Amino acid sequence: MTRTKTAYYYSFSGASSLTAVSQLSDSIYAIPGVTEFKPRYKPESGQAEIMVVVVEKRSGPESRPQFNAINVKKIIGEYGFDFMNMTIRDIEH
Q: Which helix (H) or strand (E) holds 19?
A: helix 18-22
**Domain segments of the chain: what residues?**
2-92
Please tell me whether the overall predicted TM-score, pTM, comes out greater than 0.85 for this model.
yes
Q: What is the reported pLDDT for 93?
A: 59
CATH number for the domain formed by residue range(s) 2-92: 3.30.70.100
Quick check: 81 and 13 in contact, CB under 8 A?
Answer: yes
Residue 56 pLDDT grade (very low, low, confident, very high; cuts 50, 70, 90): confident
User: Which amino acid, 76?
Assistant: I
Q: What is the reported pLDDT for 61?
A: 63
- Percent of the chain whose pLDDT exceeds 90: 80
**pLDDT tens-place string over residues 59-78:** 666 666 678 999 999 999 99
